[in-house]
Amino acid sequence: MSVLDIARPATDYVAPQKTVAAAAIDARISEIHYGKFLAVRDTNIAIEKNKITGFIGPSGCGKSTVLRSLNRMNDLIPSFRLEGQVQFLGQDIYARNIDPVVVRRHIGMVFQQPNPFSMSIFENVAFGLRLNRYKGDYKQRVEYALRRAGLWDEVKDKLKENGLALSGGQQQRLCIARAIATEPTVLLMDEPCSALDPIATRIIEELMLDLKKDYTVAIVTHNMQQAMRVADTTAFFSVDISRGGRTGFLCEAGDTEQIFHDPKQDLTKRYISGEFS
């Protein structure tokens, strides 16, 4: 990408095709490199529609790397290289003719650190609408997104105030509102509660459970209780240090119930019993 990639016309904004498959994203990743470093290998995972998929595993096992590969956020890292396919509603988002910028408009992202823009609360939520040259009623869409994010009552009288003036938990909900205002198909969340206190964490967990009615969510969490509380499907990642490197891979994925109560893999069993973290 370069500065000369002037804003693409909004007509690029294709409505996602309806497919019969229950998976919104079907990733078949054989390898992810950062330069020469093999960060992730052999990770095949499906993110099912209207469900919450939790990614758990020890730190450094590539959960963020895999998550960020699902909407091509990693393209911003020059040394990043992926081998494999990531199907989003039937299209391989790593195919040559795919524009990563457009992919990110359909697959939204909420980051570990709340990162509202230094602009008013209203403009934060309206940001994606303006980006997509939305023609409808902004006030209504902003209010709807803020309501979905459970933030409306707290901010409805100060929509003109800067988003950075909110508390951490409120900022994170503002980021969620910002992400869902454009109605993305999938919402990726990378440890969205790790910078928040337990009360703010519970609010966001409730919010996720509410959101899955309309969206598909994938969430990285360092907290196994959180995965148990919110995830329908859980993917356990592990690290392979056998060949001198530190390569992450998907060890086991399945129903959250099954992963936590009847893990098939020995590594999963040891991880959830707290033997290592």
- Which residue ranges make up the site for other proteins (CB under 8 A)? 1-3, 5-8, 71, 73, 76, 101-105, 108-109, 111, 113, 115-119, 127-128, 130-132, 162, 164-165, 175, 178-179, 182
Q: What angle do CA 230, 274, 47 make, to 5 degrees?
A: 35
Q: Are 108 and 148 in contact (CB under 8 A)?
A: no
Instruction: State the binding string over 27-46 for ligand ADP (x if CB under 6 A, else -).
Output: -------x--x-x-------
**Closer of 7 and 20 to other proteins (Cβ):** 7
**Closer of 109 and 159 to Mg ion (Cβ):** 109
**Closer of 117 and 249 to other proteins (Cβ):** 117
Sheet-wide strand order for 52-56: 91-92, 80-88, 23-34, 37-48, 247-255, 233-240, 52-56, 216-220, 186-190, 107-110
The number of CA neighbours under 13 Å toward the Cβ of 91 is 16
As a residue count, the chain comes to: 277
Minimum CB separation of residue 214 from other proteins in Å reads 19
Q: Which of ligand ADP, other proteins, Mg ion, none does residue 157 bind to, with CB < 5 to 8 Å depending on kind?
A: none
Q: Does 54 engage in binding with ligand ADP (CB under 6 A)?
A: no
59-67, 91-99, 125-133, 209-217 -> range binding Mg ion (CB under 5 A): 59-67
**Closer of 190 and 205 to ligand ADP (Cβ):** 190
Token digits of residue 203: 């609010």
Distances (CA, A) of 180 to 1, 71, 109, 144: 26, 15, 9, 10
